[in-house]
Amino acid sequence: MKKQAIVESGPTPARERILRAAMESFMEHGYTQASTLKIATRAQVSKRELYALFGSKQAMLAACIADRAGRMRLPGQLPRPSDREELATVLSGLGATVLREVSDPAVMAVFRLAITEAPRAPEVAATLQTARQAICTTVREILAQTQSAGLVGAGAPADMAGRFLALLWGDLMMGMLLRLRTAPGAKEIDERARTAAADFLRLYPQPANAPTAAARRRAAAR
């Protein structure tokens, strides 16, 4: 009988330990009170090693934010719907992804940190805003494509994206930021996403003179 090889994980890299320790310190003590000594001690590294890897506390903060904001990224390639039914499916899937990624406790922790530390460390809010803007851009682009295909009526794509996201979130984010409620489960996420997509499509009906799905497929095949 062959013995199974036991794979032991090595020690956590210093950079990863520092980022984890920095984020924990920022959340416990606030950005200004979280000293590099506290962070180095918690990460079990020397201050020299800490500065060699990051250079400054601001750089650590930016790396922490970027790491967690990366969870807010949406798929780069989304299917292009050919009719309103497919559009509802795409919007529902997109909405579910947004809710699932942004409501992650680690991401919510970053939002709270940005709100608390914005007056003293505006780079926190700026870094987070970049990630949030990426979500808005993805939604705006898919809506601009569907509008050009005649699936939704007139409206500025940026405004339409903002309205869809507002329908998607409602007061959920505020409740989580205030710790009045926990992150939604899979069932609630899917239901909220489907409802937001349906409400959005009611707000933006298909133009009466829009080409049919069959006509659009014929045009695409030429």
Q: What is the CATH number of the domain that holds 200?
A: 1.10.357.10
Q: What predicted TM-score, i.e. pTM, was given to this entire model?
A: 0.74
46 and 86: one domain? no
What is the count of structural domains for the chain?
2
Angle at 89 between CA 204 and CA 199, to 5 degrees: 35
Read off the pLDDT band of 127 (50, 70, 90).
confident
Q: Which domain holds residue 38?
A: 14-55
What's the CA gap between 68 and 44, in Å, rounded?
22
Residue 153 lies in a domain: yes
Residue 42 lies in a domain: yes
Kindly give the residue spans of alpha helices, DSSP state H, lying in 7-104: 14-29, 36-43, 47-54, 57-69, 84-102
What's the CA gap between 165 and 179, in Å, rounded?
21
Residue 222 lies in a domain: no
98 and 142: one domain? yes
pLDDT tens-digit readout, 42-74: 999 999 999 999 998 888 888 887 777 666 666
The residue ranking higher by pLDDT, 71 or 219, is: 71
112 and 174: one domain? yes
Residue 64 lies in a domain: no
pLDDT tens-digit readout, 146-158: 998 899 988 899 9
Q: What is the CATH number of the domain that holds 26?
A: 1.10.10.60
100 and 169: one domain? yes
CB 94 within 8 A of CB 74: yes
84 and 51: one domain? no
